[in-house]
Amino acid sequence: MKPARSRFAPSPTGYLHVGGIRTALFAWLVARRSGGQFILRIEDTDRARHVAEAEQHIIKSLRALGLAFDEGPDIGGPFGPYRQSDRLDIYKTWAERLIQAGRAYADPYSPEQVEAFRKAAQAAKKPFLFREHRPAEPKPWDGTTPLRFLSEPKAHRWHDEVMGDLHTGPEVVDDFILIKSDGYPTYNFAHIVDDAEMHITHVIRGIEFVSSTPNFMNLYEALNLPVPIIASMPPILGPSGTKKLSKRDGAKDVLDYLRDGYLPDAFLSFIASLGWNDGTEQEIFTREDLIQKFSLARVHRAGARFDEKRLAWTNGIFIRQLPLDELFVTVQDFWPDEAKDAGDDYKRRVLALVQDRLKFAKELPELTRFFFTDLPVNPTLWQEHTQLKKLSSDELKTLLLQSRESLAASDFGLDDLTTRLNALLEQTQQKPAVLFSLIRIATTQAPFSPGLADTLAVLGKQVSLRRIDAMLATM
């Protein structure tokens, strides 16, 4: 496999959402898989939509997900600069070549005039084609008007790694703008120049560019440039299943998922599974699996819906597979406030008990709070418990007293606790559903918790007895 040079070329207009990340991931995979380079290029030629902080935010997001780039605006590289606004003179040079070759001309119309042409075409239910209004003898371009490409309408055929073999007729080829009247190039022109100068081999981008690809082919020809490998990604859909996932549907900033405690690798595995699989029944992919098995040709052509439930499941799998020490590090910022004075050893023991229950790190506080603080006694917990509510208050109190007595003699080692709990079942002739529930509620005051013996062992003797006493006092 030849080393590929792929790039991710976002427009800095806001944060990165799942669709953008998937495109970045696939481009990254193509590069890593082939031992090539992954390049970040900032396409900031639209001054109106430009958001100052967006570039840093995008870089941060990419790094946070472990999608490191080898060349980019902040780290440079052999073919920089990697920000289009810093490359204006380069586009001018290439534009000059086109002008010399008679393949570019000054647009003589005002925006209003062009708009009128467009309206007329629309009214006639015809596609708008600028070249139908091409001036017979254009004036020399002075840089104050748009510079247009002089296209040579013809049919185009090309291969898209994802979409397959595509072809269109000459009717879609038009004289698009190369350089805008503000001196900035359009995407259509700039990306082709940049990809050539940066020796990009794989152009991986959203499906919205498929219809303009014939125009790009026309430009490649005019510039005598080889056409890179092209791959168009289908959209990630919102809940409706028809529209692209939008902010309204909760297309969150990917950093938000990380803030909620989703693991980068889990997130990547899930995102990759949206439209891609390796043809086997494997559902979960590690980063290494992905690098090893990914191929553009196996990307589904249809759009895929974003399913948060499946994301949560995926994340749960990764959390459970993580060695405790690694999980401990990744959740360090998610502990409840009450845990701030707790020791690492204690926290580690708590974490071991909830590892199976964690879907994402942000759930940690609700799952573990009672390990760090005495929750207020909550009578509804046993008064409305399906098993416990069958017993009278006195019966419950007696049972709890008996339990306290036995636990008071325990060393609170797991073995001893297990033995005692079992003996208590014998002694009281109660089902675990009754006795264990009672002790569990008394010692946690929480609606749910890990296994009883485990919980008691971690809580320790002093805390456990104190909580039992607190409950007894209310009965």
Partner RNA sequence: GGCCCCGUCGUCUAGUGGUCCAGGACGUCAGGUUCUCAUCCUGAAGAUCAGGGGUUCGACUCCCCUCGGGGUCACCA
Residue 16 near residue 10 (C-beta atoms within 8 A): yes
35 vs 348 by CB, closer to RNA: 348
Out of 248, 309, 340, 390, the residue judged to bind RNA by CB under 7 A: 309
443 binds RNA (CB under 7 A): no
35: exposed, middle or buried (Cβ count in 10 Å: 0-12, 13-18, 19+)? exposed
461: exposed, middle or buried (Cβ count in 10 Å: 0-12, 13-18, 19+)? middle
DSSP 416: H
- Alpha carbon 446 to its chain centroid, in Å, reads 33
451-470 binders of RNA (CB under 7 A)? 451-453
180 vs 397 by CB, closer to RNA: 180
CA pair distance 332, 322, nearest whole angstrom? 14
7 vs 347 by CB, closer to RNA: 7
307 binds RNA (CB under 7 A): yes
Which residue carries 């086109």 as its tokens? 98
57-96 binders of RNA (CB under 7 A)? none
174 vs 265 by CB, closer to RNA: 174
320 binds RNA (CB under 7 A): yes
99 vs 114 by CB, closer to RNA: 114
167 binds RNA (CB under 7 A): yes
Q: Give 257's contacts (C-beta < 8 A, 6+ positions apart).
A: 267, 311
Nearest 5°: CA angle at 404, between 400 and 406? 120
Active-site residue (options: 154, 247, 389, 431): 247
CA pair distance 475, 472, nearest whole angstrom? 5
134 vs 180 by CB, closer to RNA: 180
CA pair distance 102, 98, nearest whole angstrom? 6
Smallest distance from RNA to CB 341, Å = 25
Out of 273, 315, 403, 464, the residue judged to bind RNA by CB under 7 A: 273
Handedness of CA 131, 134, 136, 137 (dihedral sign): negative
CA pair distance 201, 35, nearest whole angstrom? 13
Stretch that binds RNA, among 32-40, 135-143, 193-201, 267-275 (CB under 7 A): 267-275
151 binds RNA (CB under 7 A): no
Stretch that binds RNA, among 25-33, 64-72, 94-102, 304-312 (CB under 7 A): 304-312
143 binds RNA (CB under 7 A): no
19 binds RNA (CB under 7 A): no
106 binds RNA (CB under 7 A): no
Q: How many residues belong to the site for RNA (CB under 7 A)? A: 93
Nearest 5°: CA angle at 292, between 65 and 260? 20
Residue 223 near residue 98 (C-beta atoms within 8 A): yes
Active site residue 125: no
28 vs 130 by CB, closer to RNA: 130
Stretch that binds RNA, among 85-93, 335-343, 371-379, 431-439 (CB under 7 A): 431-439
327-386 binders of RNA (CB under 7 A)? 356-357
Out of 145, 151, 201, 403, the residue judged to bind RNA by CB under 7 A: 145
Angle between helices 187-197 and 88-100 (to 10 degrees): 100
What is the β-pairing status of strands 147-149 and 104-106? antiparallel
248 binds RNA (CB under 7 A): no
Number of residues written out for the chain: 475
397 binds RNA (CB under 7 A): no
Out of 53, 74, 86, 182, the residue judged to bind RNA by CB under 7 A: 182
224-243 binders of RNA (CB under 7 A)? 235, 237, 241-243
126 vs 344 by CB, closer to RNA: 126
Strands (E), 33-186: 37-40, 104-106, 147-149, 156-160, 164-168, 177-179
Active-site annotation, residues: 247
